[in-house]
Chains A and B, each alone.
Chain A
Amino acid sequence: MSDVAMSRREWLLSERPQSRLQARLGRAYMSWQRFAANRLALIGLAIIIMLLLVAAFAPVLAPYSPVAGDLRQGLKPPGWEHWMGTDDQGRDILSRIIYGSRLTLYVVVLVAILAAPIGLLVGTVAGYAGGWIDTVLSRITDIFLAFPKLILALAFVAALGPGIENAVIAIAITSWPPYARIARAETLTVRNSDYIAAVRLMGASPARIVVRHIMPLCISSLIVRVTLDMAGIILTAAGLGFLGLGAQPPLPEWGAMIASGRRFILDQWWVAAMPGMAILIVSLGFNLLGDGLRDALDPRGAGQ
């Protein structure tokens, strides 16, 4: 058994990979080793995997319906019947949090899919093109950065109308500028390097250089940044939900749940505290994961 494992390890760490696949896997394995050396990052990864599993199996895991409540059972403290208690409408908070994980993931994934590519594209194009293109794109980025994120998101949601889709769009619109900044900074450091000059000398078009040679270099720092931002995105979504501009009742969005628990916060603390705890744990998970990824994906570390 250990014999097979050893040879597989050697195959992955081979200095002379025999195929594209082996080279790629070997590289991934090295990154994984660096990542796995960090305990806290593994905890973060475990939390995020838990979140994924909970979201996937919500109907199986949730003991009650997340939306239908029994008014007679309202505001019950945590106990054997309802592990996290019930809210004012008699809905089981645990079930709502379990279903809420789906909404949280939905928001986080959509924002990442929307915002990261926009930021990457704007940043790399600005950084590589330079001149007036850079000036225009950078100033637009600056304008977005000049507003506090939540205020800007509020303004967009107010214009688009409340709802979780609009909240996602609003958050995405407000969160790409930092990514553009990072991508631009990375691009500026590599654009005059010899290996980019070498690709130019092969006759590659600017678009090809940006997409195939510069973007891959920016992606790892962007992944790290997006992961670290996940916590912020969850909090912004929760903030919008709290203000009544994000997910609408009866959707079990964590922020909206805190908002509705606000009224009883002194007497029935669990109504607000349980979703708050969920937000805290998931945010922490993303932060730990991001820190681990930074160490694992850092291109400077890869060479040594």
Chain B
Amino acid sequence: MTNALELDRVEVVYDDFHALKGVSLAVQPGEAFGLVGESGSGKSTILRAIAGLAPVASGTINIDGQSLSKRRDKAFYRSVQMVFQDPYGSLHPRQTVDRLLQEPLAIHGIDDQERRIVRALEEVGLGTGFRFRYPHQLSGGQRQRVAIARALIVEPSILLLDEPTSALDASVQAEVLNLLETVRKARKLTFLLVSHDLAVVAHMCDRLMVMQHGEEVEQLLSTELSARKARQPYTQKLIEASTGFRR
């Protein structure tokens, strides 16, 4: 079986900063893969490199066995979509939800817009009452639902999730995580989820990679993480820290 997503020794270099130092990973179709690390570990850079938003210096990225060229084509953007961390920053402040959802359909020349927009809103649990609102009329959780609807409306097979719930309250986080699980099941999506929260990754993903300073620390199964069976001391330290303060 070909991998849905494959990275081979990918390096990303910003002007004088080596953000990613040769990272390789493979994700199977329908799998949920997690990336864990602290700030500056390069976990978000991986998503940006796949999406074509970060300068890849060397290495290859394959989607469904096809190597990506430097310039992504439209077909790529129909199969890979991304949800950003900050729901306040990822929606255009001057566009209604309707307009936000219409844009991807217009770009890809998909007709049947009316029905698709209504269906997309229903899928993420927002009624049509939200359709003509501006982002500032929505709460953080509602914005993130709109962002998910926008990503799903072009029917991608791979969803890149960059800390999708870290800006949300705990109770809203649970709702959004549940929503993501539901759509993943319904659409057989492949997830690449970035988070600093080990519990979130363990809950959502099958496998994960721990990162530090732009490099892989180790890859392990979520079950191993939950059982606290990490091989590397850095992972152990992260697990320790996530349990809270101890006097």
- Interchain CA distance A197-B76 in the complex, whole Å: 15
Could you tell me if A208 and B93 are in contact, using CB atoms closer than 8 angstroms?
no
> With an 8 A cutoff between CB atoms, is B244 at the interface?
no
Could you tell me if B94 and A216 are in contact, using CB atoms closer than 8 angstroms?
yes
Could you tell me if B82 and A198 are in contact, using CB atoms closer than 8 angstroms?
yes
With a cutoff of 8 Å between Cβ atoms, the chain B residues found around residue A216 in the complex are: 94
With a cutoff of 8 Å between Cβ atoms, the chain A residues found around residue B129 in the complex are: 16
> Which residues of A (168-214) have their CB < 8 Å from a CB of B?
193-195, 197-204, 208, 212-213
Could you tell me if A23 and B136 are in contact, using CB atoms closer than 8 angstroms?
no
Q: Report which of B84, B90, B93 forms a contact with A299, defined as CB distance below 8 A.
A: B93
With a cutoff of 8 Å between Cβ atoms, the chain A residues found around residue B76 in the complex are: 203
- Which one of B96-104, B198-206, B231-239 is at the interface? B96-104
With a cutoff of 8 Å between Cβ atoms, the chain A residues found around residue B147 in the complex are: 198
Q: Report which of B51, B80, B133, B150 forms a contact with A15, defined as CB distance below 8 A.
A: B133
Q: Which of A201, A204, A299 is the most central at the interface, judged by chain B CB atoms within 10 Å of its CB?
A: A201
With a cutoff of 8 Å between Cβ atoms, the chain A residues found around residue B136 in the complex are: 302-304
Could you tell me if B86 and A201 are in contact, using CB atoms closer than 8 angstroms?
no
- Interchain CA distance A193-B53 in the complex, whole Å: 11
> With an 8 A cutoff between CB atoms, is B5 at the interface?
no
> With an 8 A cutoff between CB atoms, is A59 at the interface?
no
Number of interface residues of B (CB under 8 A): 38
> Which residues of A (1-26) have their CB < 8 Å from a CB of B?
15-20, 22-23
> With an 8 A cutoff between CB atoms, is A36 at the interface?
no
Specify the chain A residue showing the minimal Cβ separation from B80. A201
Q: A195-B92, A201-B81 are in contact. Are A17 and B132 (CB under 8 A)?
A: yes
With a cutoff of 8 Å between Cβ atoms, the chain A residues found around residue B154 in the complex are: 202
> With an 8 A cutoff between CB atoms, is B184 at the interface?
no
Q: A15-B133, A198-B84, A299-B94 are in contact. Are A193 and B89 (CB under 8 A)?
A: yes
Q: A203-B108, A204-B107 are in contact. Are A195 and B132 (CB under 8 A)?
A: no
> With an 8 A cutoff between CB atoms, is B247 at the interface?
no
With a cutoff of 8 Å between Cβ atoms, the chain A residues found around residue B81 in the complex are: 201-202
> Which residues of B (126-152) have their CB < 8 Å from a CB of A?
129-130, 132-137, 147, 150
- Interchain CA distance A197-B107 in the complex, whole Å: 15
Q: Report which of B72, B90, B104 forms a contact with A194, defined as CB distance below 8 A.
A: B90
> With an 8 A cutoff between CB atoms, is B27 at the interface?
no
Could you tell me if A23 and B53 are in contact, using CB atoms closer than 8 angstroms?
no
> With an 8 A cutoff between CB atoms, is A39 at the interface?
no
Could you tell me if B132 and A194 are in contact, using CB atoms closer than 8 angstroms?
no
> With an 8 A cutoff between CB atoms, is A217 at the interface?
yes
With a cutoff of 8 Å between Cβ atoms, the chain B residues found around residue A20 in the complex are: 96, 98, 132
Could you tell me if A203 and B92 are in contact, using CB atoms closer than 8 angstroms?
no
What string of 1s and 0s marks CB contacts (under 8 Å) between A215-229 and chain B? 011000000000000
> With an 8 A cutoff between CB atoms, is B78 at the interface?
yes
Could you tell me if A16 and B74 are in contact, using CB atoms closer than 8 angstroms?
no
Could you tell me if B133 and A203 are in contact, using CB atoms closer than 8 angstroms?
no
Instruction: Using CB atoms and an 8 Å cutoff, list the residues of chain B in contact with chain A.
Output: 51-53, 72-74, 76-78, 80-82, 84-86, 89-94, 96, 98, 103-104, 107-108, 129-130, 132-137, 147, 150, 154
Q: A202-B103, A203-B73 are in contact. List 10 more A-B contacts (CB 8 A).
A: A16-B129, A16-B133, A20-B98, A22-B132, A23-B98, A195-B90, A201-B51, A202-B108, A204-B103, A208-B107
Instruction: Using CB atoms and an 8 Å cutoff, list the residues of chain A in contact with chain B.
Output: 15-20, 22-23, 27, 193-195, 197-204, 208, 212-213, 216-217, 299, 302-304
Pairs A–B under 8 Å by Cβ, sample size 12: A16-B132, A18-B132, A198-B82, A198-B91, A198-B150, A201-B80, A202-B77, A202-B154, A203-B77, A203-B104, A213-B92, A303-B136
